[in-house]
Amino acid sequence: MSNAIAIGPFAQIITMKGLPLKGALSDDQLEIVEDGALLVESGRVSAVAKAKAIRSMATEVGATWHELEKPQVATPGLIDAHTHICFAGSRAKDYAARSAGKTYLEIAQAGGGIWDTVLKTRAASQEELSKSVLQRSARLLQSGITTVEVKSGYALTVEGELKMLRAIQAARERGPIDIIPTCLPAHIVPKDFGGNAMEYVAYLLAEFFPIVQREQLAKRADIFVEAEAFGLAEARHYLSTLQERGFDLTVHADQFSVGGSQVAIDCGAYSADHLEASGETEIQALAKSDVIPVALPGASLGLGCAFTPGRRLLDAGASLAIASDWNPGSAPMGDLLTSASIFGMAEKLSLAEVLSGITFRGAAALGLNDRGRLVEGQLADITGFETTDYREIFYQQGQLRPSSVWKKGQLI
Ligand code: NIG
Ligand code: FE
């Protein structure tokens, strides 16, 4: 029996076909297949065309039809390339303090911030953490996200960080959303570590990462480069050692002060994330490199800070992914589409640039080239919105929720 399925007709299919990885885009570069359908075989897209053409192909290969009752617009399944959704507790108290004028760094210095979440996450069991990832990823799936990156980084001991990665792994095995795990044991130097930042990095390299590799818990590693977290020398040592060991790299860079993005470039990272503080030098360097800049507008909204200079990055010729950064501190909203829509309006991005940032450019930030476009050979991850005009998706700033989500050709 054929495992082929055909899905349609869609009022519009936004394929993202042929769009470049780097640089500015205009909406008229979008390929829009009107009255279209998709043919899916073995979980991958095998054809995108007018519904009429797909109907005859479907008959030929004996595909099952999934007839859509109401008009929908299809986009590639959305990709959230940066989250911290494995955590315990709430930081509503920090939020109130920030809203009243305290800064993120002042709150951290007073004992709140990341350390507060570390204490709560250390106290949680692996099962509780896994459940928290499952609950939050179910919400993401409902928002049209079919691939999500999830970081460790709220335990900051060998055992605690392994507990987080195992919790993420357990959630990952439950599916259907694809979870890409990342090690972030270098989030801050834990207050109870008896040594400096370089000694903590050496401890992680010696004691933590060999176990991660042995148990195949993650292939990606991240570090928060900032005065209150890790300096440039520690970051270079950490990243270059992990690159030699075969890890894919990403960096929390230039959030409050610059320096991290250059380390990301020099160490061959896939992405440099945040970049709110990046200036002309950093923008030009990123544009010349293969590093994908990742904007995290949810953090700007959660902190009341400036946005990543998305417009200037794109105009300089850089790529630009957009992710939610969902975490209990700086980005509690955790809504990719809402934050990306607001960011697009604030930064004067075309809708093609916003959609690229949460589809194939987000995939590239994760080193994935098998998703993010609805073209032949790509995973059949599809998000359907009940409308006839794709612009409504951004115009409604996250309030138009997907009415169907397909993961590898399966309706969720
Ligand atoms: O991406 N900047 C550092 N890390 C996270 C925030 C983590 C937290 O506040 O709990 C971020 O914003
Ligand atoms: Fe983050």
Quick: pLDDT tens for 256-283: 999 999 999 999 999 999 999 999 999 9
Query: Domain coordinates of the chain in residue numbers?
Result: 5-76+373-411, 78-365
Give the closest residue (by CA) to ligand 1 atom 8: 329
Overall fold of domain 5-76+373-411? Urease, subunit C; domain 1 (2.30.40)
Q: Is the pLDDT of residue 1 over 60?
A: no
Q: Measuring from each residue's beta carbon to the nearest atom of ligand 1, which residues come in under 6 Å? A: 84, 113-114, 117, 224, 252, 255, 299, 325, 327-331
CATH of domain 78-365: 3.20.20.140
- The set of long-range contacts for 116-120, using a CB threshold of 8 Å and a minimum separation of 24, is 116/89, 116/91, 117/87, 117/88, 117/89, 117/91, 117/154, 117/327, 117/328, 117/329, 118/154, 118/155, 118/156, 118/188, 118/190, 120/87, 120/88, 120/89, 120/154
Task: Band the pLDDT of 217: cuts 50, 70, 90.
Answer: very high
Statement: the pTM of the whole predicted model exceeds 0.75: yes
Task: Band the pLDDT of 105: cuts 50, 70, 90.
Answer: confident
Q: Which atom of ligand 1 lies nearest, measured to the CA of 329?
A: 9
**Most ligand 1 atoms within 8 A of CB, residue of 252, 256, 296, 333 to mutate:** 252
Ligand having the closest approach to the CA of 187 = 1
Q: Is the pLDDT of residue 40 over 80?
A: yes
The pLDDT score that the predictor gives to residue 6 is 97
Q: Is the pLDDT of residue 78 over 70?
A: yes
The pLDDT score that the predictor gives to residue 287 is 98
With contact defined as beta carbons under 8 Å apart, do 120 and 88 qualify?
A: yes
Q: Which residues, including other chains, have CB under 8 Å from residue 102's CB and lie 6 or more apart?
A: none
Q: Is the pLDDT of residue 13 over 90?
A: yes
**More reliable by pLDDT, 110 or 401:** 401
**Most ligand 1 atoms within 8 A of CB, residue of 98, 106, 330 to mutate:** 330
DSSP secondary structure letter of residue 35: E
Which stretch of DSSP H or E encloses residue 118?
A: helix 114-123
Distance 329 CA to ligand 1 centre (A): 6
